[in-house]
Amino acid sequence: MDQPGLHDRHPGAVFFYLLLIALASFPDGVFVPRVLRWLIPLGIPLTCFVSFPDIDEDVQGIVGLVALLGVLGSQFIRFRREPEGIVRQQIKYAGFGFAAGILLVLAALIVAASMGDDPSGYTPLMSLVVLLLFSTGMAAMAVGLLVALTRFRLWEADTVITRSAAYAVVTLIVGVVWAASSDLVKLVITEVMGHDSEAGATTVGAIIAAGVFSPTQSAVLGWTRKHFGGPLDQIHDAAKRLKSWGLTESPEEVATRALSMIDQAAHPAASAIVLDTAMGHELIAAREVTSADDPKLVEKLVLEDEESSVGTLLIGRRSDGNRYNKQEIDAIREIIPSLAEALRVARGRFSRESAMQQRMEEMAARLAQLEGDSRNQLS
């Protein structure tokens, strides 16, 4: 005969084990660090421990929570080891889902704790609030993982998350300033003018908060736009540097930096730049490919400015498998004239410098030959 309560814990035990393994191997089934592979056999006794009915439930809860938090902490290690790309976005979005979910569940626990231990004192409204907070928190964790695994529009999600966090910071700062200034001004005014002026003190506090809101919003959102702006913002700011690069760098360096800019703005899985030469075409820069004929490169954009074309920009699909949105397409098209001009200037300057260097080497060789002939004649 089964022990009392053991049968009821089997589904939860299986869920705990699967969650432990899934978190350790998220998002591609590879364990990072590799030592986490030992969770496959060691997770079985751990699961039995946290689900066995004769052990103190508080101890089981602490051990299970520590195990899950330890596995979640391993994702920070993986995040730092991964290069910029879709895997980091998956970890970031799943982390956002878990963070939002944990905060909502924590809020539900705080509300439930404030209601006391007596169920008869629970009001229907407060019970509904606790249920909604807890259910929404659990759903946020699941949705975060689901979106990360489907890899749907993760780059847009990253921008939305960052901007939402920026607005949250602005709201928090303004709320704290309003609360602090309101109490301080109320204290000063009531001491000077009496208790009948509390309404005026509240108005003054609101005015102070409004004065803080505008510069705080500009500073926080300006920083956010600079570091996490849309594709057009990133390209527009970076394209201004292309002209100066054309005056100082080689065509290969200009093309490499341009591909880096495009990667940050549009996130293609692969990209390359081919320069037109007198002998044909030359691949001067590439990311994730070694040849201009690679099947990953599905889009070809002619690099041309007001004079003529200088080469071709080749890009692949987005790294998350989705189509480019209008902002990303507009950003790529906006950089083309500046990139073509920079490549033209860099190629012309580099050709002149190469020709001059070749002539100087020929002159040095000729002078060395003349010096050798003179020494032979003297000897």
pLDDT surpassing 50 at residue 15: yes
35 and 128 part of one domain: yes
More confidently predicted of 236 and 31: 31
CATH code of the domain containing 245: 3.30.450.40
Task: Classify residue 369: in a domain, yes or no.
Answer: no
Percent of the chain with pLDDT over 90: 7
Structural domains of the chain, count: 3
Give the pLDDT confidence score for residue 169 in this predicted structure: 64
For residue 96, tell me if it sits in a domain. yes
The HSE-up count of residue 101 (CA atoms within 13 Å, CB side) is 16
Domain-located, residue 360: no
The answer to whether the bond into 27 is cis (omega within 30° of 0) is yes
Structural domain for 311, as ranges: 234-348
Q: Is 365 contained in some domain?
A: no
What rounded mean pLDDT belongs to the chain? 76
Same domain, 186 and 305: no
DSSP structure class, residue 310: E
Strand partners, 314: 272, 300
More confident residue, 7 or 333: 333
Residue 92 forms part of a structural domain: yes
| 238 and 262 housed in the same domain | yes
Last residue of a domain, one of 153, 186, 215: 153
Is 61 domain-assigned?
Answer: yes
Confidence of residue 5 (pLDDT cuts 50, 70, 90): very low
Q: How confident is the model at residue 248 (pLDDT cuts 50, 70, 90)?
A: confident
Task: Say yes or no: 146 and 112 in one domain.
Answer: yes
Structure tokens at 232: 């057009």
Shared domain for 11 and 124, answered yes or no, is yes
pLDDT score recorded for residue 312? 93
pLDDT tens digits, residue range 21-31? 887 887 777 78
What pLDDT score was predicted for residue 271? 93
Q: Is residue 39 part of a domain?
A: yes
Lowest mean pLDDT: which of 63-67, 190-194, 237-241? 190-194
pTM over 0.75, yes/no: no
Last residue of one domain, picked from the residues 179, 206, 229? 229
On whether both 20 and 142 belong to a single domain, the answer is: yes
- CB of 270 closer than 8 Å to CB of 299: no
358 in a domain, yes or no?
no
